[in-house]
Amino acid sequence: MKFNVRSRGDNNSNILTQKIKNYLQEFELEMDKSEPDIVISVGGDGTLLEAFHEYNNRLSETAFVGVHTGHLGFYADWKPEEVEKLVIHIAKTPYKIVEYPILEVIVRHHGDQEPERFMALNECTVKSMVGSLVMDIEIKGDLFETFRGDGLCISTPSGSTAYNKALGGAILHPSLSCLQLAEMASINNRVYRTVGSPLVLPQHHTCILKPKSDVDFQVTIDHRTLVQKKVKSIQCRVAEETVRFARFRPFPFWKRVKESFIAE
Ligand code: NAP
């Protein structure tokens, strides 16, 4: 089995990364940065997001596992003191794969620019570079509402505990194949009206955002921020691809939610 280990880049994560590499090589596993079967990310959830984007062209071949060197994460759920156990699991036992849905985002432009396709593990957000964001929201081909406000967040179930949660979105179990659309401070008065509640769309429903004017937009895909010009539409749906996590022991999602947000 071929592996790679990715560090957040701070001193603690670098030391732990080197330790994991050495242990795995002692078990005669091969390090392969370009075509790993398993990628161990060391740092936090943000580090795993970066690893996901580095290998998003081989999601059906590469599985991910995260070790946290700060606080417990949703993706980074192994403690530093457990790495010996983790390495033995990786080297000696066939691991179980759990697959979570991810988001496909296609940005289409006016003019001849080719459409751009992105994949997000957590979410895509859209904001206007100038003034309020004003966009028609179509769901499954029909106009649903015209949104006016700070922005929109379209998240995956595993990303529902991130930005989406801060916007009052629901926490969704990642076994659900769906996406969630949450508003950022919509303007609601006698003139402008939006539904106000976060919406959860099933896998076969596509959501298309269409700008009402030709302004530039700030689009984020997980940790990446892009400026998009001459946008015709931004299409979001559950991707055909999934992200694969290597599971070596049960760690129920709701337990992780409790430990991250409620338990001392
Ligand atoms: P960051 O601003 O440095 O950190 C964002 C925080 O979100 C970190 O504490 C990170 O955990 C945590 N996080 C990432 N994915 C998560 C998940 N699925 N569930 C729960 N928490 C999660 O940015 P970053 O590390 O590059 O991460 C980018 C993410 O930041 C975006 O995808 C977005 O979800 C999130 N974000 C949140 C807000 C907000 O809550 N208001 C605003 C902007 C962006 P670690 O510390 O373990 O890395």
CATH number at residue 54: 3.40.50.10330
Residues 113 and 90 in one domain: no
Helix and strand numbers, DSSP H then E, in the chain = 5, 16
Burial of 12 (0-12, 13-18, 19+ CB in 10 A): middle
- d(CA 112, ligand 1 centre) in Å: 35
Average of per-residue pLDDT values in the chain: 97
State which residues form the domain around 47.
Answer: 2-95+248-261
Task: Compute the distance from residue 161 Cα to the ligand 1 centre, in Å.
Answer: 9
- pLDDT greater than 90 at residue 211: yes
Same structural domain for residues 39 and 74?
yes
Q: How far is 38 from 256, CA to CA, in rounded Å?
A: 22
Mutational test site, ligand 1, from 45, 223, 253, max ligand atoms within 8 Å of CB: 45
User: 185 and 57, same structural domain?
Assistant: no
- Measured in Å, residue 45 CA sits from the centre of ligand 1 at 7
Q: Is 46 annotated as a binding residue?
A: yes
Mention every residue, 6+ apart, whose C-beta is less than 8 A from residue 66: 40, 41, 42, 45, 47, 48, 73, 75, 76, 77, 78
Q: Are residues 202 and 235 in the same domain?
A: yes
Q: How many domains does the chain have?
A: 2
Residues 86 and 4: their CA atoms lie apart, in Å, by: 14
Looking from the CA of residue 71, the nearest atom of ligand 1 is: 47
Residue located nearest, by CA, to atom 43 of ligand 1: 163
Give me the mean pLDDT over the 96-109 stretch: 98
Q: Is 114 a known ligand-binding residue?
A: no
Q: Do 157 and 252 belong together in one domain?
A: no
What is the rounded distance in angstroms from the CA atom of residue 161 to the CA atom of residue 173? 10
Asked if residue 216 has pLDDT above 80, the reply is: yes
- 148 plus 81 within the same structural domain: no
The pTM of this model reads 0.97
Instruction: Report the pocket of ligand 1 as residue ranges, CB < 6 Å.
Output: 44-46, 49, 70, 73-74, 76, 122-123, 158-159, 161-163, 166, 222-223
Q: Do residues 203 and 252 both lie within one domain?
A: no
Same domain for 199 and 70? no
- Same domain for 72 and 107, yes or no, is no
Task: Tell me the per-residue pLDDT of 173-210, one tens digit each, with 9 for 90 and over.
Answer: 999 999 999 999 999 999 899 999 999 999 999 999 99
CATH for 221? 2.60.200.30
Report the nearest atom of ligand 1 relative to the CA of 260.
20
